[in-house]
Structure 1
Amino acid sequence: MALPPKFNAHRLTFSSSLTSAPEPKHTIELFLDYVCPFSAKLFNHLYNNIIPKIISPNPSLSSKVDFIIRQQIQPWHPSSTLVHEAALAVLQLTNSPAKFYQFSSTLFAHQKSYFDISLVNETRNQTYRRLAKLASDTISDLDEEAVYNLLAIPSQPGEDGALNAGNAVTNDVKLITKINRLLGVHVTPTVIFNGVVANEISSGWTEEQWKEWLDKNIV
């Protein structure tokens, strides 16, 4: 599935030069929900261990593979939408894979703060305010107010009287949801390798299991 240009920061490549390096031969797509514990387990292990220790130092792997995060909102957790919106706001403001993945790592690290019970007595805009602060604390040159302004819901109708207008990232939420629905992805995490669901990949895989799989499939 193609990646719309506005979501280019969802893609993590390992080439030092995007202009001269060939396109990676293989793509690993990670369908993740920021409030899913198993998504956190998979992402954290990949981001903190597999990518820096196995893929990045190894040109035979890093030149042949890239990763794409597919934000998979799970609607039975209402907070899932809010947290994913924060990631989309960061993407809009930075358009940087490094910063988007950095903030994704922070969201997973703090995911319990956005579980159902953690914000049951919090208004939507209060949650957005916390997320905006988390983003600015994570990314030093990111303005908290700029993030919050993309997320906040107005308390009064607009000039057209609209009561359900959403926020400045609503259209992005619609687009990522349409993309994922076309693929029929349901559970998180789901991993798609070169267009095919890789059911064998588990969030509980060890470094050795990942290395064995990568050596076998990234050729």
Structure 2
Amino acid sequence: MTFQLSALEWGAGPKVLEVFLEPTCPFSVKTLRKIPDLLQLAGQDRLTVRVRLQSQPWHMFSGVIVRAILAASSLDEGRDAALAVMMAVADHREEFEFTDHCRGPNMDATPADILRRIEVYSGVPLTETFVRPEVTAAVKWHARYGRQNGIHVSPTFMVDGLIDPAFSSGDTVDEWGVKLFPVKG
């Protein structure tokens, strides 16, 4: 049996929106929550949304959480398990983040504590896959891909291979739809 990670990709349309997200960033969380509605608005046959993970060092457990998401993508449920992990972190964001990025209760938390929290909140068993070398390779791929495309912050939006600064996590889903599929006339 081969070990394989599922792509964090939804929809199958020719227009491609890549969103670079850091799982504990509040603006990335806003973006993540809008993706299902965007796919429904645009149509899964018109749009492909790819989530790219953008670990950021000021979010102190970012690397652990990114690794957990990618480990989840290797399970039988694939991208849905990864989405469950992302949503669990989003729903309990303060339990995975530091106060002012540098203090608070998480100062005493270990990476093992964080992994256990993710497993409890998501219902996704991660301990075995978390340590796989293939997950390390995937973490490195996401980091390289972001750097090669000039991604420095989250969320960043890339449409058909080009960064588009017109997109914001504060936009409505309808505004995203118009930016992706402008009305001609």
Pairing partner for 1:99 from 55, 76, 81: 81
Determine helix, strand or coil for the equivalent of 2:90.
helix
**Residue aligning to 1:150:** 129
Deviation at 1:211, TM superposition (A): 3.2
Structure 2 partner of 1:160: none
- Indicate whether 1:69 and 2:56 are aligned: no
Unaligned runs of 5+ in 2: 99-103
**Is residue 85 from structure 1 mapped to residue 67 from structure 2 by the alignment?**
yes
1:90 and 1:135 in contact (8 A); partners too: no
2:136 partner amino acid: T
Q: Which amino acid in the other structure matches residue 108 of structure 1?
A: A
| Structure 1 residue 123 corresponds to structure 2 residue 110 | yes
**What is the CA–CA distance in structure 2 between the aligned matches of 1:128 and 1:65, rounded to whole Å?**
33
Q: Match of 1:191?
A: 157
* One-letter identity of the residue aligned with 1:103: V
Residue of 172, 179, 182 corresponding to 1:213? 179
Does the CA contact (< 8 Å) of 1:9 and 1:100 recur in 2?
no
Task: Report the CA distance shift for 1:118/1:26 in structure 2 as closer, same or farther (over 3 A).
Answer: farther
In structure 2, the CA distance between the partners of 1:127 and 1:8, relative to structure 1 (3 Å rule), is: closer
Task: Name the amino acid aligned to 2:39.
Answer: I
Deviation by residue 1:195-218 (Cα, 9 ceiling, x = unmatched): 11111011111233233223318x
Change (3 A) 1:210 1:174: closer
Deviations 1:17-68 (A, max 9, x none): xxxxxxx321100000001111111111233x3334x13xxxxx43121000
**Pairwise CA RMSD of aligned residues?**
2.2
* TM-score, normalised via structure 2 length: 0.83
Mapped partners of 2:84, 2:162: distance in 1: 27
1:11 aligns with 2:9: yes
Distance in 2 between residues matched to 1:26 and 1:209, nearest whole Å: 16
**Which whole-Å deviations, capped at 9, do the CAs of 1:178-201 have from their partners, x for residues lacking one?**
222211210100000001111101
SS of structure 2 residue aligned to 1:66: strand
Q: What letter matches 1:112 in structure 2?
A: E
Summarize deviations over 1:77-99 as a string: whole Å, max 9, x none.
22011111110110112363333
Of the two, which has the highest radius of gyration? 1
